């Protein structure tokens, strides 16, 4: 698995951005010559499969906290190995996903999950991974949980806050609290 300090792979993936078939799809590019979110922090999270049970709870929570991530100049990108058409159908049929404010990327060729080494060897789907990537494309946080265990979205926001201070942050540090002085 690629980890902290390594360059996040460049990608160009089809994304589902709405439930209207006329405007549902777009291409998202990152860390190559053409970067959709140049100069932004990226919070890229992966889920195993659409139309499952744990995944929509996490996706909906990222949606609820999207404004807080945007306020920190961060773009959320959700990714699975399902197609953009499966994402569209899921969004159309699952109330809590209908109005998601961030793209759902389709890694159907499994190129990004393979480059990150997060393709589950048994199930052949993305592992439940979360990455925080700085504007220079460097991974600053990486976490993977078991396929059956949802992640804590508020923890990803807390880590982003800590990373953006560029200071030493103690255990359980929260935005607005004092950082550590090494002197």
The predicted pLDDT at position 32 comes to 79
Please tell me whether residue 107 adopts helix, strand or coil conformation: coil
> DSSP characters for 8-52?
PPPEEEEEE--S-TTT-EEEEEESSSS-TTTTSEEEEEE-S-SS-
Q: What is the mean pLDDT of the chain?
A: 96
> Residue 55 catalytic?
yes
C-alpha to C-alpha distance for 109 and 82, rounded to whole angstroms:
9
Reported as half-sphere exposure (CB side, CA atoms, 13 A), residue 32 has a value of 10
Record the tokens describing residue 152, joined without a space: 């804590």
Please tell me whether residue 163 adopts helix, strand or coil conformation: helix
Is it the case that residue 183 has pLDDT exceeding 80? no
What pTM was computed for the model?
0.96
Q: Which residue has the higher pLDDT, 76 or 33?
A: 76
The predicted pLDDT at position 7 comes to 98
Is it the case that residue 11 has pLDDT exceeding 90? yes
Is it the case that residue 118 has pLDDT exceeding 90? yes
The predicted pLDDT at position 176 comes to 94
The predicted pLDDT at position 34 comes to 85
Per-residue pLDDT of 44-103, as tens digits, reads 999 999 999 999 999 999 999 999 999 999 999 999 999 999 999 999 999 999 999 999
What is the β-pairing status of strands 128-133 and 139-145?
A: antiparallel
The predicted pLDDT at position 182 comes to 80
For each of the domains in the chain, give its residue range(s) and CATH number, in order of start: 11-165 (3.40.30.10)
Among 30, 42, 55, 59, the active-site one is 55
What number is the average pLDDT over the span 141-159?
Answer: 96
Per-residue pLDDT of 131-141, as tens digits, reads 999 999 999 99
What number is the average pLDDT over the span 158-178?
Answer: 96
């Amino acid at each position: 698995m690629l980890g902290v300090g390594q360059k996040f792979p460049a990608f160009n993936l089809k994304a589902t951005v709405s439930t209207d078939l006329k405007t549902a799809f777009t291409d998202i590019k990152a860390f190559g010559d053409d970067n959709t979110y140049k100069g932004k922090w990226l919070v890229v999270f992966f889920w195993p499969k659409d139309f499952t049970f744990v995944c929509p709870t996490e996706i909906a929570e990222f949606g609820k906290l999207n404004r807080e991530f945007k306020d920190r100049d961060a773009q959320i990108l959700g990714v699975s190995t399902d197609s953009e058409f499966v994402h569209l159908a899921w969004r159309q049929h699952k109330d809590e996903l209908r109005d998601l404010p961030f793209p759902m990327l389709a890694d159907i060729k499994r190129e990004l999950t393979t480059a990150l080494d997060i393709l589950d060897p048994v199930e052949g789907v993305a592992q439940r991974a979360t990455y925080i990537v700085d504007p220079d494309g460097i991974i600053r946080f990486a976490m993977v949980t078991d396929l059956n265990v949802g992640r804590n979205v508020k923890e990803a926001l807390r880590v982003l806050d800590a990373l953006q201070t560029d200071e030493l942050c103690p255990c359980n540090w929260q935005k607005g609290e004092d950082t550590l002085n090494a002197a």
